[in-house]
Amino acid sequence: MSKYLEMSTKLTDERYLVEALRELGYDPEVCREGRPLVGYMGDERTVRAQIIIRRRQLDSASNDIGFARDGPGVYQAIISEYDRGIGFDDAWLGRLSQVYKERQTMAMAKAKGYIFKGREVINTPQGKKVQLRFGVR
Amino acid sequence: MKQKTVVIEIDEHGNSSLDLEGFQGSGCSAVAKDFQGRDAVRSVGNKREFYVQVTATTQEQERK
């Protein structure tokens, strides 16, 4: 072994973010120009996002959850305090990032010719880890 | 020659780790870059094999 890196996932690719949200059971709305988020009373907010989970897919008192692309092209989650309190918190975002990173990695590896060797889910005290192995041509 | 293998572990907290096995020298940097994508690097470590080629090159330069 010669190199070891630790990284933090950045949500930068619309395609894999949408796929990850779908895998978690949502049907996100995508609009490159951005659309306003809607609050729990049906009020349109000033804040806009490019990827939106409409509140009807969440709790009856939920607000829309949005992912807005910032200047450097990273999607930032916009989640109300109420929705954070009912489970759309950092742990939820972490699981979303996990699915996103796996999908992005698989697609990149296939496109660049890495040889897929296997996938394993490892249970650790800190939660489940997805391990992917690739060979290099 | 040991086969070159990439192992990536993705946790539930938005972090991942990348282990490049069987590489020697700095040839693994391009592979690391592929798997890093636009993610932020929190830490990087080079393991013993990384220094093999570097050391050999340095010794060769010293002989000249």
Residues A1-42 pLDDT 10s: 467 899 999 999 999 999 999 999 999 999 999 999 999 999
Domain membership flag for residue A1: no
Full-model pTM: 0.88
Domain that holds residue A127: 14-135
pLDDT (0 to 100) of residue B3? 87
Q: Which of A47-51, A133-137, B28-32 has the lowest mean pLDDT?
A: B28-32
* Mean pLDDT, rounded, for A117-132: 96
Could you give the CA distance from residue B46 to residue B19 in angstroms, rounded to a whole number?
10
Of the candidates A54, A49, A78, A56, the one whose C-alpha atom is nearest the C-alpha of residue A64 is: A54
Query: Any idea which of A82-86, B12-16, B47-51, B58-62 has the lowest mean pLDDT?
Result: B58-62
Cβ–Cβ < 8 Å for A28, A51:
yes
Q: Given this model, what pLDDT does residue A1 score?
A: 47
Sign of dihedral through CA atoms A7, A23, A89, A76?
positive
From the list B40, B32, B19, B44, the residue with the least C-alpha distance to A8 is B40
Q: What is the DSSP letter of A3?
A: E
Q: How far is B24 from chain A (nearest CA, A)?
A: 6
In a domain, A95, yes or no: yes
Q: Let me know the angle formed at the C-alpha of A79 by A18 and B15, rounded to the nearest 5 degrees.
A: 60
Is residue A48 assigned to a domain? yes
Instruction: Read off the pLDDT of each residue in B20-33 and give the average, rounded to a whole number.
Output: 84
Q: Is residue A123 part of a domain?
A: yes
Q: Which residues of A touch B13 (CB under 8 A)?
A: 90-91, 94, 97, 126-127
Q: Say if the Cβ atoms of B12 and A9 lie within 8 Å.
A: no
A2: in domain: no
Residue of A nearest to B29 (CA): A3
Residue B41 CB neighbours (<10 A)? 12
CA A116 to chain centre: 23
Among A45-59, A73-87, B17-31, the least confident range: B17-31
DSSP-assigned beta bridge partners for residue B16: A7, B10
Which residues have CB under 8 Å from A26's CB, separation 6+?
A53, A57
The reply to whether A110 touches chain B by the CB within 8 Å rule is no
In a domain? residue A26: yes
Q: What is the ipTM of this complex?
A: 0.92
Q: In total, how many domains does chain A have?
A: 1
pLDDT band at B53 (very low <50, low <70, confident <90, very high): low
Does the pLDDT at position B38 exceed 50? yes
- Number of Cβ atoms within 10 Å of the Cβ of A26: 17
Contact list, B48 vs chain A (CB under 8 Å) = 1-2
Please state, in angstroms and rounded to a whole number, the distance separating the CA atoms of residues A81 and A64.
12
- Are the beta carbons of A5 and B44 separated by less than 8 Å? yes
Interface contact B33, partner A, CB < 8 A = no
Question: Between A and B, how many CB-CB pairs are < 8 A?
Answer: 153
Q: What is the mean pLDDT of residues B16-29?
A: 85
- Per the CB < 8 A criterion, the answer to whether A52 and A35 are in contact is yes
Please give the pLDDT value at position B57.
52
Contact B18 A129 (CB under 8 A): no
Subunit contact A98:B35, Cβ cutoff 8 A: no
